[in-house]
Amino acid sequence: MAMTESFYVTTPIYYVNGAPHLGHAYTTIAADTSARYHRMRGTPTKFVTGTDEHGQKIEESATAQETTPKKLADEISETFRSAWKALGIKHDDFIRTTEPRHKKVVADIWNRLQDSGDIYLGSYDGWYCVGCEAFYQDADLAEGKKCPTHEKEVTWVSEPSYFFRMSKYQDALIKHFEDNKDFVQPKGYYNEILSFIKSGLRDLSISRTTFSWGIPVPNDDKHVIYVWIDALTNYISALGGPEGKDFELFWKNSYHIIGKDILRFHAVYWPCMLLSAGLPLPKSIVTHGWWTVGRKKLSKSIPTTRVDPEIIAKDLGNDPLRYYLLREIPLGPDGDFDYDSLFGRYQAELANDLGNLLNRSLSMFNKYFSDVPQVSADAELKAQCQNASNEAAAHYEAFSFSKGLEATWALIRNINKYIDENKPWMLAKSDAPEDKEKLAAVMMNALEAIAWSARLTTPVLPESTAKIFSQMPIADGLANQWPVSEDFGKQVLSVGAPTPVFPRIEKDDKDALIAKWQAHSAPPAEPTNQISFDDFSKVEMRTGTIEAAEKIEKAKKLLKLSVNVGEAKPRQIVAGIAEAFAPEALIGKQVIVVTNLKPAKIRGVESQGMILAVGDKKILDLATAAVSCPPGSQVR
């Protein structure tokens, strides 16, 4: 991608049926990183995220939670907003599909499709997955009529529906793919979706009548607009619609970062809609795979797969999490989240390669110098810096964050090597004037290269580079600019005392953090001691009056009682209360008796019920009613 006059990047807008998880955080961090990179290049940049709030799925979630869809949407949309704030995401806009500015543009797009003669009324009979909010053909379904993504049974829908003539755009879309080889990236997804289009496009059902939580179809409010038509439009309603000023500036350089499960909607439905609406297509659909945990898809309901990005970031810092997610896998294939590799990369690449390089360089500098000396640039080191910039830039522009970081870390390792080979500690021991000069040159070149490489990491590690530049201030404005050749030698203004930016984490602390995160992610344990109301109501309890009490031979703790519970004959009850009460003290006492307990023999004596006592280990009293009741009164 050549330098552009603008850059527009979006995340999918997230459903408001559950809190953000690691998968959502990944897309958002990737978009944030590319936006930060383009801002550093001085390109007018817009980064939009938001929430997808309409549709059957949200209506059903709200009903299940005994709330209204709007209340649920308000609440969950806010959890996304606050998660992004906590994770240091710098989006320029947060769009919600329940906002009037969005609804207006959706109606406008609908009218454009209609004006093109591409909407007709029919009826839809077929399978629907509420989880995906998608219609399925028999052939698409997994065994047992299950949705291939959610592995849940799909439902049969039969209702009047408006249709969009998507089939009409098949050839135009194929041509667009052929003319724009980066329309979907990486390549594997491009090929997959192109062959899907070539296999034939069907018209698309674009309205529903069996629920109401959505944007009404213009002039036919018995129908609500299919949630994907509504949701996809967010990408242009956030620009003020097709007539908006931002649309003119940004749309031509628009990139949608999405997960592979929603590729068809973005690479087929959306471009067909835009073709019908007479609008240009986005520049590219950038597709990533799934994060798994223990190779299992992340799920809110399976404890081992619940990884909370916020708690990890809170304990370890936002940047290490960003670094791990973007460095561990290239954008495209699935990746397995693993706490050991997270800490492994933290220790080796952040704490050692970068953190330690900074620490030792600042310490040495402070030992040998009090002012920043003027030196000339080491041509080789400068060239390495420039190459790393070029490489990292090309990779960030291609959304290959992992490779961008790899190129940057190759430079960081070279700076470490440069110091090791030039041995400033040896030069410092020498009194020879040429060694003094060389010491200044080595130290300053190393610090310049560190400042340079820190600037290359800024899109991924914005908080850490700010810390680096607070210890080693650089010339005004440069911290937020992508480095260019003339900067080398003019960056570092002064050198302060080092404070570790990535403190080492000892094994015990690491184990404790992992244990804490895992415990946090486990769902609250279901209490195992609960009984249902039905179970409880099986217990029959009545008041009774003790008429006689005597000790049982050879049983220190037991008394044999005769209790009047309002029946023809008193009950014989054996109770373990001999250590708390003398038999004579019990006569006439009102107690509560479980009367439907199966009779049992205790020490050879039949017991026809149980009296209720109070106290933990030691019995303090017998349960009773505060007023005197006729024997046999029900206790409920």
Per annotation, catalytic residue among 146, 152, 176, 297: 297
Query: What's the min distance (Å) between Cβ of 95 and ligand MSP?
Result: 10
By beta-carbon proximity to ligand MSP, the closer residue of 15 and 84 is: 15
Asked if 498 is part of the footprint of ligand MSP (rule: CB under 6 A), the reply reads no
* Out of 259, 320, 483, 631, the residue judged to bind ligand MSP by CB under 6 A: 259
Asked if 255 is part of the footprint of ligand MSP (rule: CB under 6 A), the reply reads no
Asked if 468 is part of the footprint of ligand MSP (rule: CB under 6 A), the reply reads no
Q: Which residue is at the shortest CB distance from ligand MSP?
A: 259
Distance CA 440, CA 368 (A): 9
* Out of 26, 190, 469, 581, the residue judged to bind ligand MSP by CB under 6 A: 26
By beta-carbon proximity to ligand MSP, the closer residue of 233 and 422 is: 233
Sort strands 590-594 and 207-208 into parallel, antiparallel or unpaired: unpaired
Residue 22: in which H helix or E strand, if any? Answer: helix 22-40
Please work out the total of residues on this chain that contact ligand MSP, with binding judged by CB under 6 A.
Answer: 20
Please tell me what DSSP assigns to residue 616: S
Per annotation, catalytic residue among 300, 516, 551, 557: 300
297: annotated active-site residue: yes
* Out of 8, 23, 36, 281, the residue judged to bind ligand MSP by CB under 6 A: 23
Distance CA 185, CA 397 (A): 12
Q: Scan residues 43-82 and list those touching ligand MSP (CB under 6 A).
A: 52
Asked if 262 is part of the footprint of ligand MSP (rule: CB under 6 A), the reply reads yes
Please tell me what DSSP assigns to residue 373: -
Q: Scan residues 265-294 and list those touching ligand MSP (CB under 6 A).
A: 290-291
24: annotated active-site residue: yes
Instruction: Reply yes or no: is the peptide bond before residue 570 cis, omega within 30 of 0.
Output: no
Asked if 261 is part of the footprint of ligand MSP (rule: CB under 6 A), the reply reads yes
Distance CA 147, CA 590 (A): 63
Q: Which span (12-20, 147-155, 191-199, 513-521) binds ligand MSP, by CB under 6 A?
A: 12-20
**Alpha carbon 288 to its chain's center:** 15
Query: Which of 12, 15, 53 lies closest to 31 in space, CA to CA?
Result: 12
Asked if 14 is part of the footprint of ligand MSP (rule: CB under 6 A), the reply reads yes
Sort strands 93-96 and 119-129 into parallel, antiparallel or unpaired: unpaired
Asked if 349 is part of the footprint of ligand MSP (rule: CB under 6 A), the reply reads no
The residues, ordered by sequence, that sit 6+ positions from 105 with a Cβ below 8 Å of its Cβ are 233, 236, 237, 241, 242
300: annotated active-site residue: yes
By beta-carbon proximity to ligand MSP, the closer residue of 262 and 505 is: 262
Asked if 448 is part of the footprint of ligand MSP (rule: CB under 6 A), the reply reads no
Q: Which span (6-14, 214-222, 461-469, 475-483) binds ligand MSP, by CB under 6 A?
A: 6-14
DSSP 391-449: HHHHHHHTT-HHHHHHHHHHHHHHHHHHHHHH-HHHHTT---HHHHHHHHHHHHHHHHH
Residue 558: in which H helix or E strand, if any? Answer: strand 555-564
Q: Which span (184-192, 229-237, 310-318, 397-405) binds ligand MSP, by CB under 6 A?
A: 229-237
Give residue 560's identity as a one-letter amino acid code. K
Kindly report the length of the chain: 636
Handedness of CA 49, 54, 55, 56 (dihedral sign): positive
Please tell me what DSSP assigns to residue 598: P
By beta-carbon proximity to ligand MSP, the closer residue of 109 and 262 is: 262
Token output for 361: 């360089």
Asked if 355 is part of the footprint of ligand MSP (rule: CB under 6 A), the reply reads no
Three-point CA angle 72, 74, 80, nearest 5°: 100
Three-point CA angle 299, 301, 307, nearest 5°: 50
By beta-carbon proximity to ligand MSP, the closer residue of 289 and 483 is: 289
21: annotated active-site residue: yes
By beta-carbon proximity to ligand MSP, the closer residue of 262 and 468 is: 262
Is 159 within 8 Å of 210 (Cβ atoms)?
A: yes
Helices 401-422/433-457 angle, 10° precision: 170
DSSP 463-509: HHHHHHHHHS-BSTTGGGS---GGGTTS-B--------SS----HHH
132: annotated active-site residue: yes
Query: What's the min distance (Å) between Cβ of 52 and ligand MSP?
Result: 3
Token output for 538: 């099986």
Per annotation, catalytic residue among 150, 176, 252, 438: 150
Distance CA 98, CA 53 (A): 6
Token output for 334: 């699935």
* Out of 13, 40, 236, 611, the residue judged to bind ligand MSP by CB under 6 A: 13
Distance CA 198, CA 191 (A): 11
CB atoms under 10 Å from CB of 471, counted, come to 17
Asked if 446 is part of the footprint of ligand MSP (rule: CB under 6 A), the reply reads no
Asked if 239 is part of the footprint of ligand MSP (rule: CB under 6 A), the reply reads no
SS3 category, 193: helix
Per annotation, catalytic residue among 46, 54, 57, 132: 132
Asked if 32 is part of the footprint of ligand MSP (rule: CB under 6 A), the reply reads no
Q: Which span (257-265, 359-367, 371-379, 416-424) binds ligand MSP, by CB under 6 A?
A: 257-265
Query: What's the min distance (Å) between Cβ of 298 and ligand MSP?
Result: 4
By beta-carbon proximity to ligand MSP, the closer residue of 77 and 491 is: 77
* Out of 12, 242, 355, 404, the residue judged to bind ligand MSP by CB under 6 A: 12
Per annotation, catalytic residue among 129, 272, 385, 629: 129
Query: Backbone dihedral region of 489: left (phi > 0), alpha (psi from -120 to 50 degrees) or beta?
Result: left
Q: Which span (171-179, 227-235, 242-250, 413-421) binds ligand MSP, by CB under 6 A?
A: 227-235
Q: Which span (23-31, 111-119, 150-158, 408-416) binds ligand MSP, by CB under 6 A?
A: 23-31
Q: Scan residues 372-431 and list those touching ligand MSP (CB under 6 A).
A: none
Query: Which of 355, 370, 299 lies closest to 499 in space, CA to CA?
Result: 355
The residues, ordered by sequence, that sit 6+ positions from 149 with a Cβ below 8 Å of its Cβ are 129, 131, 132, 261
Query: What's the min distance (Å) between Cβ of 40 and ligand MSP?
Result: 26
Query: What's the min distance (Å) between Cβ of 465 and ligand MSP?
Result: 26
Report, as residue numbers or ranges, the catalytic residues.
21, 24, 129, 132, 147, 150, 297, 300
Q: Which residues bind ligand MSP (CB under 6 A)?
A: 12-15, 23-24, 26-27, 52, 231-232, 234, 258-259, 261-262, 290-291, 297-298
